[in-house]
Amino acid sequence: PGLHPAARLAPAPAVKSPGAVRAAAQQCLALFDLDGTLLEGDTDQLWCAFLIDEGVLERAAFEAANADVSARYAAGEIEPAEFCAFYAATLAGRTAEQWAPLRERFVAASVAPRIGAAARTLVERRHSAGDELVLTTATGRFLAEPIAALLGIRHVIASELEVDAAGAFTGRNQGVLNMRAGKVERIGAWLATRGESIGRLDDAVFYSDSINDLPLLAAVGRAIVVDPDEWLADAAAVPVDERKNVI
């Protein structure tokens, strides 16, 4: 379904002369939030619900907690450490290879149907314009990477998950969590690995729906709100070029 007609909000791609090639440093950096922006719903909440339905997690222990964590995240009321730790814990005790079959089914059944045609069109439009696309999400990398691949987005900045000596997830995160101010820090670190400065954000565009993304919305040269949540829509000073709900 066309759940997020975000393409209407996207600036028209720049017209390039035939054969013109922009160097990487000259490309526009197009950053995308995932949940609520390109995907209708929250990846972590959907994953937890999927595992409950599959009998992997106990409904009595996780269903109400999942709803509570998700609601407080949406309102911008939960700390990044608590949010990320809750969902990292759902992966504890198995390796990525052991989780892979369930992840594949999850992406096919719970994620792909929630990525609308308009979201895909927006991503393709930015790609066709020669922009450098980055998916930046608080979701753990294990879940974020196949979704980015589904969207055709090469670069992924996500919250990182700790693994033990045997390669199994410990149920804990590691490093700077990619949430709120952490998104700005992590994109800065990513740019630094490429020999680029945080100043590259001056010419970047960022698409998001969430109050949790205010720090990165404020840091980029062009902030575009896609179907904002009620808390972002009500923010006193939202640094966006286009502030409107998309129906």
- 241: annotated active-site residue: no
| Beta carbons within 10 angstroms of residue 167's beta carbon | 11
Cα 104 to chain centroid, rounded: 18
Q: What is the DSSP letter of 15?
A: P
Q: What is the DSSP letter of 177?
A: -
Instruction: Name the nearest CA neighbour of 175 among 62, 76, 93, 84.
Output: 84
**Active-site residue, from 33, 44, 131, 209:** 33
| Neighbour-count burial of 183, counting CB atoms closer than 10 A to its CB (0-12 exposed, 13-18 middle, 19+ buried) | buried
Instruction: Name the nearest CA neighbour of 169 among 117, 102, 239, 233.
Output: 102
- 35: annotated active-site residue: yes
Cα separation values, 140 from 128, 173, 232, Å: 28, 8, 23
**Active-site residue, from 35, 42, 44, 209:** 35
Q: Which residues are catalytic?
A: 33, 35
